[in-house]
Amino acid sequence: MSKKTKKKKFDLSLLRKVFTYVKPYRLQFISSLLLAIILAIFTPIRPYLIQLTIDKAISKTGSIPTWLHIFISGDNLNDVTRFIVSVTVFQIIFLLIETLTRFTFTFLTSWLGQAVVKDLRVNVFNKISHLHLRQFDRTPIGTLTTRTINDIESINDIFSDGFIPIIADLLSIIFTLATMFFLNWKLTLISLIPFPILILATYYFKETVNKSYKRVRNAIAALNAFVQEHISGMAIVQAFAAEDRERKKFDIINKQHRDANISAIFAYSVFFPVVEIILALSLGILIWYIADRKIDAGLLVSFILYLNQIFRPLRVIADKFNVLQMGMIAAERVFTVLENQDILPPSKPDAYNPSTVAGRVHFDKVSFAYNSTHYVLKNINFKIEEGETVAIVGHTGSGKTSIISLLNRLYEIQEGEILIDDVNIKSYNLDTLRSNIGVVLQDVFLFSGTILDNITLRNPAITEAEVIETSKMIGVHDFIMQLPNGYHFNVMERGNSLSLGQRQLISFIRALLYNPSILVLDEATSSIDSESEMLVQKAIDKLISGRTSIVIAHRLSTIRKAHKIIVLDKGEIKEIGNHQELLEKNGFYAKLHQMQFAEEQISA
């Protein structure tokens, strides 16, 4: 089988996937196809009526079709004046009906496209929200944004400007050609002599524009990824005076986008004049052929109109086919996301779903790698009893944060097992598991919206009164009330209107409000000032009271009260014990403590 055949089959398969989203809208889809057929039937009628009117006005004779007698009954159609007036009135009414039908067809196809796009976009977002986190490690955010917005919007064109409109145009051409052959097959063949040239020009135009549009889509994805990344990291760009260097990189990507568009524009600039020339050539051949032959004037005029009705859709049908192709390319990218199987499998109906979780944690011979070659955790073994506070320390890159990611199944382990209350976490209902593990990260992410929205995550089951009560419990209420509008203060994108310490405090309220059985604090005080740290430390004391807590700490001074300290280095556990025991061992932890104490003395 040739590559070309394979590509065709693939496209048809992809089109079938797109049309599975049309099933809920079968009525609208069938209606649009019926309207396309009706419009195609309407197409040759007006030129034929003009032909009859001219012939009647000139020769005063000519047969009147039976169907016209049905629509214009009661008038003496043999009278020239009555005939012309009646047919003119009929044409005006017919034109209004045709216009209304065309409006309905255009609106219905566009509505259908938007309905499919809505459903697709929801499915894509839902899919993205369930992907394994490693997918976000590998894929730029701008690329996923393009898939969710730009590419899905292009799928709308399959319906509004692609598949159904192409069918409508092809049917119009077929009905027009059939009418021409019925009226005079010789004249039809003569006038279509230049037609092969048009087909050849259309093919080259389609191929050229298709290649250009592919380049345009790739350039758009690259632009989105670049802009998204650099807007997020603008503080770094400006801090290192890299504006000019990054602008030059952007300029290169932008030029690629421009060049791809210009290539498509050039193809349009050549193709449309070529179509006009071929149309003129057809008309010239037609006039030349009838120069020395007796042809009714009405037939000549109708054939000129018919040729325009054939060439007009052919001018745009190649463009519509490219729109269809671009929609298919976009659909291929979108379905690549939808068919991505790198997700956590949904919880089984019989998944373990306890009403309460005590909070005992057991890592049993756990090994984990983000890729198959480099293990970041190797044979990790430790237990945490209910209500214990355990600290995890180690150099940057030792695997501390990876342990948190594994505990709530953001990543899957390669070896060993993780148990909570002596049950493998893979057996838990995923929602139950994660709702019982509260995580406060070092880099707190806040969404655009109010403080209240960010604390409740827009969960309607949580009232403002409950939020206020929780805030007072950990001593954060006064800080929030000092802000404009209090709990309704807009934190802006990523919480940029708040300090790091303030964002941290909001995340504490959020964690406590959901009342998790296991609390994880990931270096919660490592990057805030001393004043904020005192407030944060008080909040932490409230948070960890009476619940199993895992504290990842950079400052060793903050974990002296921990029941147990786990020392990690290069993905392996070096020591386990409390603060005093580890100092007395004079091992890895003692060296870390000495180094940090020396750094604090120097900075002081």
Q: What is the pLDDT at residue 601?
A: 47
pLDDT for residue 595? 76
CATH of the domain at 579: 3.40.50.300
Residue 136 CB contacts under 8 Å (≥ 6 apart), including other chains:
144
The DSSP bridge partners found for residue 380 are: 366
> Is the Cβ–Cβ distance between 90 and 64 less than 8 Å?
no
Q: Which residues of 534-570 are buried (b: 16+ CB within 10 A; e: fewer)?
A: ebbeebbeebbeebbbbbbbbebebbeebebbbbbbe
396 CB neighbour count, 10 Å cutoff: 7
Give the integer Cα–Cα distance in Å for 61 and 296.
12
pLDDT at 9 (0 to 100): 40
Question: Is 188 found in the same domain as 56?
Answer: yes
**Cβ pair 363, 399 in contact under 8 A:** no
In terms of C-beta density within 10 A (0-12 exposed, 13-18 middle, 19 or more buried), how is residue 584 classed?
exposed
Instruction: Give domain status of residue 497, yes or no.
Output: yes
- The token pair at 165 is 């409109």
Within a domain: 375: no
Burial bucket for residue 416 (CB in 10 Å: 0-12, 13-18, 19+): middle
- Cα–Cα distance list, 525 to 355, 400, 488, 551 (Å): 32, 15, 26, 11
Residue 415 forms part of a structural domain: no
Give pLDDT, residue 525.
58
pLDDT at 3: 42
The answer to whether residue 83 is domain-embedded is: yes
Residue 455's nearest CA partner among 428, 489, 411, 405 is 489
In this structure, the answer to whether residues 477 and 586 fall within a common structural domain is yes
Report yes or no on 544 lying in a domain: yes
Regions of the chain where pLDDT drops below 50: 1-10, 601-602, 604
* Burial status of residue 314 (CB atoms within 10 A of its CB: 0-12, 13-18, 19 or more): buried
Q: Are residues 325 and 448 in the same domain?
A: no
Residues 333 and 446 in one domain: no
Closest CA to 487 of 460, 513, 455: 455
In a domain, 566, yes or no: yes
Give pTM, 2 decimals. Answer: 0.69
What pLDDT shows up at residue 365? 92
Domain shared by 463 and 330, yes or no: no
Of 315, 338, 361, which marks where a domain is finished? Answer: 338
Distance CA 56, CA 77 (A): 10
On whether the CB atoms of residues 404 and 511 are closer than 8 A, the answer is no
Q: CATH number, domain at 39?
A: 1.20.1560.10
**pLDDT tens digits, residue range 492-535?**
766 667 777 778 778 878 877 878 889 888 765 555 555 566 66
Q: Which residues form the domain of 566?
A: 388-393+435-603
Q: How many CB atoms lie within 10 A of CB 153?
A: 16
- Could you tell me if residue 536 is inside a domain? yes
Number of helices (H), then strands (E), in the chain:
22, 10
Same domain, yes or no, for 316 and 455?
no
Q: Mention every residue, 6+ apart, whose C-beta is less than 8 A from residue 426.
A: 409, 417
Instruction: Tally the domains of the chain.
Output: 2
Residue-level pLDDT at 604: 45
Q: Which of 498, 362, 463, 459 is nearest to 417 (CA)?
A: 362
User: Does 3 fall in a domain?
Assistant: no
